[in-house]
Amino acid sequence: MTVGEGVRTAQQTSVACPGCRLEMPRRPASQGHGYYNASTECWSVYTEVLGAEFSNAVLFGQVHQLTVDSYAVQHAGGSHPDKSVAVHLVGLHLVLERSVRPTQVPALLQTLASSVRAWPHFEPPPAQWSMTVFDVAVCGSASEHAEAVRAWSASVWEAWAPEHSRIRDLANEHVGYGQ
Ligand SMILES: [Zn+2]
């Protein structure tokens, strides 16, 4: 088989992620991804990125929370529960708009999760994403990785602009200010 044939074959068997629209070659056996509205191929890219963060303490502290929250809300819709989408949107809000340190976010989200009784539905934006987890996965160094996560999370948060005010309201009501 020539290289050209290989490319054609890959295109014919590519699959677009229903959440972030990332196109990846279809894999015959990929791991499951719970309830996220993601292709298994996209999910496997995400697990690679998580692996890089788990193996680098600085990277983990600086951007891991942004990665988790960005990936989650870029894969809303489908069977992804309102609670999970709302929690991760508030996570982005806390870091990007309130300058909360990423490592302080999990405790605040725990407060949120135990306080809210009825979770609001936030409508996912039309899938016009400028970046995906793939842009992070291809980074060669930790500093590039961190930079890519910051740009990716900012673009994801911006895409959710129509829901920003409702997300801020949810955070103001249930997460203590001045942390
Ligand atoms: Zn995806």
Side chain identity at residue 126, one-letter code: P
Assess if residue 57 is contained within a domain. yes
| Spatial CA neighbour of 20 closest among 91, 96, 126, 122 | 126
At residue 68, the pLDDT reads 98
Would the pLDDT of 179 be above 50? no
- Number of structural domains in the chain: 1
Phi/psi of residue 177, each to 5°?
Answer: -85, 165
| Planar angle of CA 174, 178, 179, nearest 5 degrees | 80
Comparing 140 with 4, the larger pLDDT belongs to: 140
Instruction: State in Å: Cα 179 to ligand 1 middle.
Output: 32
Instruction: State in Å: Cα 36 to ligand 1 middle.
Output: 9
Assess if residue 179 is contained within a domain. no
Instruction: State in Å: Cα 104 to ligand 1 middle.
Output: 26
Would the pLDDT of 153 be above 60? yes
Q: Average pLDDT, whole number, for the chain?
A: 90
pLDDT tens, residue by residue, 154-172: 999 999 999 999 999 999 9
Instruction: State in Å: Cα 17 to ligand 1 middle.
Output: 5
Which tokens sit at 57? 């303490």
Instruction: State in Å: Cα 25 to ligand 1 middle.
Output: 13
Instruction: State in Å: Cα 75 to ligand 1 middle.
Output: 6
Instruction: State in Å: Cα 159 to ligand 1 middle.
Output: 15
Instruction: State in Å: Cα 80 to ligand 1 middle.
Output: 13
Assess if residue 155 is contained within a domain. yes
Instruction: State in Å: Cα 133 to ligand 1 middle.
Output: 7
Protein residues near ligand 1, an ion, with CB under 5 A: 17, 19-20, 22, 38, 42
Q: Residue 61 belongs to what domain range?
A: 3-174
Assess if residue 29 is contained within a domain. yes
Side chain identity at residue 170, one-letter code: L
pLDDT, mean of residues 46-67:
96
At residue 178, the pLDDT reads 46
The pTM for the full model equals 0.90
At residue 3, the pLDDT reads 47
pLDDT tens, residue by residue, 96-141: 999 999 999 999 999 999 999 999 999 999 878 999 999 999 999 9
